């Protein structure tokens, strides 16, 4: 068996694997796609000490760093179940069962897509999901935020300080965000809120140049000229495969304590799959380190 088995090979998992391996204990990492979400990212400008990098380049460096150590890397493998017996057992799609004394879950998350024409085509060409990451790219431009929940309204408030104008498109007749956020939003001069708006298409040629939506009350179609669209309709953690084996929040996020420990002794979690406050590369790497040290501490004590 492994001492530490990391499930997920994004920034959190890579960090956990390096921290575990540096303790000289038997470490394995199983990942569907080594690199995780950063493989889909173009520019990264908030990974502190690296002024600018690109996702695939950072993913390659993560893998290179993990390979500096004696870590058993199992790529292109999907974990489908977890059970605690004598050891913690992680079952893979291919039928194999990996045994370990401790596990670090770092299966990440994915942004929910609106699924309209143009969204996939213009990803990184005007369609964005992370205001902290990509907001500054739209300085002085017109953008829309799709989604009027807390994350959408937080994004709109954040973006309003950077861009020229923000239009919020909410599908429902009312915004769902907390009223303090709504009050703040409505106090801003460069924000328009459109409710009952069903996004129809994100348009453009090589980059985004507009968005069309249908007013659900009148059925009329409208178009807004703009350069950016932030999709803010939810971040879904990749935790379905855990069923009820482990405590998860209402949103499906794995609940962790300050050492990254979960509700199952010996099972730790890190990164975007947890109920951590913010989802960023630097934060997931930090929590990966925390979870690996938590696992090591657990091994020492048990
Ligand atoms: P992930 O990166 O999601 O990695 C999850 C890993 O788990 C992957 O290896 C995946 O294949 C694997 N996995 C999932 N399920 C299973 C399973 N069942 N079995 C086995 N393996 C599994 N953050 C920034 O700080 N700066 C940015 O500029 C930035 N830009 C972004 C741009 C985009 C388009 C996106 C989508 C995200 C961006 N982020 C950015 C957010 C950042 O990418 C994430 O916060 C970070 O990648 C989270 O790391 P993670 O390791 O927790 O999860």
- Model ipTM value: 0.99
Which of 133, 155, 234 for a ligand 1 pocket mutation test, highest count of atoms within 8 Å of Cβ?
Answer: 133
- Active site residues per annotation: 130, 133-134
* Residue 243: predicted pLDDT: 87
User: Looking at the DSSP assignment, which residues form a beta bridge with residue 274?
Assistant: 254
| DSSP single-letter state for residue 68 | T
Å from CA of 32 to ligand 1 middle: 11
- C-beta 129 within 6 A of ligand 1: yes
Provide the CATH number for the domain formed by 127-231 in this structure. Answer: 3.50.50.60
Options 3.50.50.60, 3.40.190.290, 3.40.50.300, 3.30.465.10; which CATH number does 2-111+235-301 get? 3.50.50.60
* Residue 43: predicted pLDDT: 87
Six token digits for residue 253: 């996020």
Q: Whose CA is nearest to atom 14 of ligand 1?
A: 107
Q: Which run of H or E residues covers position 236?
A: strand 235-237
- C-beta 241 within 6 A of ligand 1: yes
Per domain, the residue ranges of the chain are 2-111+235-301, 127-231
Beta carbons within 8 Å of 225's beta carbon, 6+ residues apart: 142, 209, 210
User: Looking at the DSSP assignment, which residues form a beta bridge with residue 231?
Assistant: 146
pLDDT digits (tens, 9 = 90+) for 130-144: 999 999 999 999 999
Q: Whose CA is nearest to atom 40 of ligand 1?
A: 280
pLDDT higher than threshold 90 for residue 123:
yes
* Residue 147: predicted pLDDT: 97
């Amino acid at each position: 068996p492994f001492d530490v088995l990391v499930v997920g090979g994004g920034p959190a998992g890579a960090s956990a694997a390096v921290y575990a391996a540096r303790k000289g204990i038997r470490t394995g990492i199983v990942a569907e796609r080594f690199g995780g979400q950063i493989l889909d990212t173009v520019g990264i400008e908030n990974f502190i000490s690296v002024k600018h990098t690109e996702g695939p380049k950072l993913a390659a460096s993560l893998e290179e760093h993990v390979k500096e150590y004696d870590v058993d890397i199992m790529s292109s493998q999907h974990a489908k179940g977890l059970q605690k017996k004598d050891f913690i057992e992680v079952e893979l799609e291919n039928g194999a069962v990996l045994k370990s004394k401790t596990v670090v879950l770092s299966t990440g998350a994915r942004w929910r897509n609106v699924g309209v024409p143009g969204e996939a085509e213009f990803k990184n060409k005007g369609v964005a999901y992370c205001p902290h990451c990509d907001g500054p790219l739209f300085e002085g431009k017109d953008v829309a935020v799709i989604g009027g929940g807390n994350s959408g309204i937080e994004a709109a408030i954040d973006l309003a300080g950077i861009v020229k104008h923000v239009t919020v498109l909410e599908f429902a007749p009312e915004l769902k965000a907390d009223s303090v956020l709504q009050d703040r939003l409505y106090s801003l001069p460069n924000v328009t809120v459109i409710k009952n708006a069903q996004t129809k298409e994100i348009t453009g040629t090589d980059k985004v140049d507009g968005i069309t939506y249908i007013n659900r009350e009148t059925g009329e179609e409208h178009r807004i000229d703009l350069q950016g669209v932030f999709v803010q309709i939810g971040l879904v953690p990749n935790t379905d495969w855990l069923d009820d084996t482990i405590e998860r929040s209402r949103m499906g996020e794995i609940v962790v304590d300050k050492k990254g420990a979960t509700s199952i002794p010996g099972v730790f979690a890190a990164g975007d799959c947890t109920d951590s406050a913010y989802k960023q590369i630097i934060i997931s790497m930090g929590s990966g380190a925390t979870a690996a040290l938590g696992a090591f501490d657990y091994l020492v004590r048990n």
